């Protein structure tokens, strides 16, 4: 695509942007060392994947497991599990800045990089570990290389685009949006049509990169792909499951003002609404943003959609919103930094005292507290009873038991599933009886196997944290009672 400016208006943008991004990232890493929240269920599961390297996992592609295997090689404390968050987002900021530099010049590149690293979604994602975080630098890199391919028409950029897009796909399947957007852009712009040879090379490298994960899915009953369809819900049976949920659509749409920032999201919508008056570069980038947002809006209308499901839209979206604000509404740009900066400061500070921060008697960060404490109590009881294993059905309970009990020497297993496994633990860690009693953990309303041979030990009902209003019962049960159906 043709650039909006030819020479960069400043040549030292990488140094200035790197200093700003490094400073913000360094503060985030420092505060992360004092973070007192427990790993969320997804984070604990990702850690376990890092201990069990594979080409795929139950609910996500494998890259996050590989990354955590590297970061937790010497220490597996919560700090090391979450450390990739701020580092990967810092890298993504510089990659997006480099795209802005080629398209708009150095000054805009600086503000794009700093805008990215201060986005509310980035501020939150720098406090934990998620698949979006792992996908982002590779997805941004694939867009950068694809633009170079369209501009320079060199084979090396076709190879790099395919490789980086494949790695992004191995981070999260949402990367598949980009080939769809590229096809749409090719329909609109003649300049956005690579040669057939380059398309073949790009798609070939992409296919080879993701092939191990595809083979893993075939060998594991298309586990990850099936879980992705489960998230879409209505796709499996549109006649019975699909419906119109305007409330869910409104909730998702309004959440994007918090995800991307109210000023930036408003700017993106305004530019999209007036796309015909925009430059070809802006129109091209809108095609890599708005269709993703629309797809997820349709999903929200037909079923449900979480706030982060459209996150891939905001790489290109940022490259549209920031230049427009800088050119016409600089006061809005200042307001954007003020609002987003507020979240950047407040969010990490909240993690320093999660138990004390309450509204109307309930912890604000309750989903990130009480998990380790519950697991430690269960592990202590299992140690005192000298049982053969701890068995549970609930994914939340199992996730933290595996993490908190990683050095306990106690076997932890899931209740064997009936039919398709409902989660990773049931798929890879089902209990196999060995003749010994086990400590069974499950909600009180769930029927106990072999009730005449069960010893009820305790009911755990914390007043605060993740298990508030979610009591768990502990039973001493003969292991043979928990056999696979």
Quick one: three-class SS letters along 373-424? HHHHHHHHHHHHHCCCEEEECCHHHHHHHHHHCCCCCCEEEECCCCCCCCCH
Mean pLDDT of 265-281: 95
Give the torsion sign (CA, 127, 172, 164, 216): positive
**Maximum average pLDDT range among 128-137, 324-333, 385-394, 441-450:** 128-137
Average pLDDT over residues 437-462: 91
pLDDT at 288 over 60: yes
How far from the centroid of its chain's Cα atoms is residue 438's Cα? Answer: 35
pLDDT at 242: 62
Residue carrying structure tokens 């069990």? 52
Bridge partners (DSSP) of residue 389 are: 411, 438
Residue 367 has pLDDT above 50, yes or no: yes
Per-residue pLDDT band for 57 (boundaries 50, 70, 90) equals very high
| pLDDT for residue 231 is more than 70 | no
Q: What is the pLDDT of residue 420?
A: 83
- pLDDT at 8 > cutoff 50: no
Q: Residue 235 pLDDT > 70, yes or no? A: no
- Distance, in Å, from the CA atom of 309 to the CA atom of 314, rounded to the nearest integer, reads 11
Q: Which DSSP category does 448 fall into?
A: P
- Report residue 11's pLDDT band, with 50, 70 and 90 as the boundaries: low
> How does pLDDT run across 79-89, given as a tens digit for each residue?
999 999 999 99
d(CA 130, CA 59): 13
Tell me the C-alpha distance between 191 and 170, whole Å.
29
- Report the pLDDT value the prediction gives residue 192, as an integer from 0 to 100: 95
Closest CA to 261 of 442, 119, 106, 76: 119
Burial class (CB in 10 A: 0-12, 13-18, 19+), 188: middle
Please report, for residues 14, 335, 437, 478, 482, the alpha-carbon distance to residue 452 in angstroms, rounded to integers and kept in the order given. 70, 66, 14, 11, 14
Task: Report CA torsion sign: 353, 355, 356, 359.
Answer: positive
pLDDT at 359: 87
Q: What is the predicted pLDDT for the residue at 6?
A: 42
State the average pLDDT over residues 171-193. 96
* pLDDT for res 21: 97
Q: Quick one: average pLDDT of 433-444?
A: 92
Q: Sorting pLDDT into bands at 50, 70 and 90, what band is 7?
A: very low
Cα of 453 vs its chain's centroid, Å: 43
For residues 9 and 409, the model is more confident at: 409
CA dihedral 211, 217, 220, 226 (to 10 degrees): 180
Lowest mean pLDDT among 110-124, 226-240, 278-292: 226-240
Beta strand 362-363 with 472-478: parallel, antiparallel or unpaired? Answer: unpaired
pLDDT digits (tens, 9 = 90+) for 380-409: 999 999 998 999 999 999 999 999 999 999
Percent of the chain at pLDDT exceeding 70: 94
In whole numbers, what is the pLDDT of the chain averaged over residues? 92
Lowest mean pLDDT among 81-85, 100-104, 237-241, 326-330: 237-241
Q: Residue 220 has what pLDDT? A: 87
Q: Where are the alpha helices (DSSP H) in 105-154?
A: 106-117, 120-125, 131-152
Rounded to whole angstroms, how far apart are CA atoms 93 and 137?
8
Secondary structure class of 244 (helix, strand, coil): coil
pTM of the predicted protein model: 0.93
Q: Which two tokens stand for residue 290?
A: 């708005």
370: left (phi over 0), alpha (psi -120 to 50) or beta: left
What pLDDT is attached to residue 62? Answer: 97
Q: What is the average pLDDT across 255-275?
A: 97
């Amino acid at each position: 695509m043709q650039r909006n400016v030819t020479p960069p208006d400043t040549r030292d943008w990488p140094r200035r942007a790197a200093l700003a991004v490094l400073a913000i990232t360094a503060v985030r890493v420092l505060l992360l060392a004092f973070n007192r929240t427990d790993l969320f269920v997804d984070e604990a599961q990702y850690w376990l994947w890092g201990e069990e390297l594979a080409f795929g996992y139950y609910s996500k592609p494998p890259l996050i497991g590989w990354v955590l295997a590297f970061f937790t090689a010497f220490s597996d404390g919560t700090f090391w599990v979450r450390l990739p968050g701020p580092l990967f987002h810092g890298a993504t900021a510089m990659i997006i800045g480099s795209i802005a530099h080629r398209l708009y010049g150095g000054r805009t590149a600086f503000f794009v990089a700093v805008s990215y690293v201060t986005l509310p979604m980035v501020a939150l994602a720098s406090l934990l570990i998620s698949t979006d975080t792992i996908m982002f630098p590779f997805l941004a890199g694939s867009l950068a290389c694809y633009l170079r391919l369209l501009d320079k028409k060199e084979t090396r950029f076709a190879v790099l685009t395919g490789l980086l897009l494949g790695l992004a796909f191995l981070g999260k399947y949402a990367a598949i949006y980009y080939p769809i957007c590229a096809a749409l852009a090719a329909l609109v712009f003649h300049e956005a049509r690579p040669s057939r040879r380059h398309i073949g090379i790009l798609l070939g490298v992409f296919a080879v990169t993701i092939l191990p994960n595809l083979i893993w899915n075939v060998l594991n009953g298309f586990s990850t792909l099936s879980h992705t369809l489960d998230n879409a819900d209505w796709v499996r049976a549109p006649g019975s499951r699909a419906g119109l949920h305007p409330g869910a659509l409104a909730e998702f749409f309004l959440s994007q003002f918090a995800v991307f920032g109210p000023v930036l999201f408003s700017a993106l919508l305004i530019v999209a609404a007036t796309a015909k008056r925009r430059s070809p570069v802006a129109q091209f980038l809108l095609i890599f943003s708005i269709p993703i947002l629309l797809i997820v809006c349709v999903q929200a209308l037909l079923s449900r959609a979480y706030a982060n499901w459209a996150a891939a839209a905001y790489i290109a979206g940022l490259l549209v919103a920031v230049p427009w604000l800088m050119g016409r509404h600089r006061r809005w740009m200042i307001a954007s930094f003020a609002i987003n900066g507020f979240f950047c400061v407040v969010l990490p500070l909240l993690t320093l005292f999660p138990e004390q921060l309450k509204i109307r008697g309930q912890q604000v960060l309750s989903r990130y507290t009480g998990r380790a404490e519950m697991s430690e109590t269960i592990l202590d009881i299992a140690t005192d009873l000298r049982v053969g294993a701890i068995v549970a059905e609930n994914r939340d309970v199992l996730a933290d038991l595996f993490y908190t009990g990683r050095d306990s020497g106690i076997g932890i297993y899931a209740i064997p599933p009936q039919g398709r496994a409902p989660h990773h633990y049931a798929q890879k860690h089902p209990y196999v009886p060995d003749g010994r009693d086990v400590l069974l953990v499950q909600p009180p309303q769930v029927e106990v196997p072999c009730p005449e041979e069960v010893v009820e030990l305790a009911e755990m009902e914390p007043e605060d944290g993740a298990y508030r209003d979610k009591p768990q019962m502990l039973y001493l049960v003969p292991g043979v009672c928990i056999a696979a159906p």
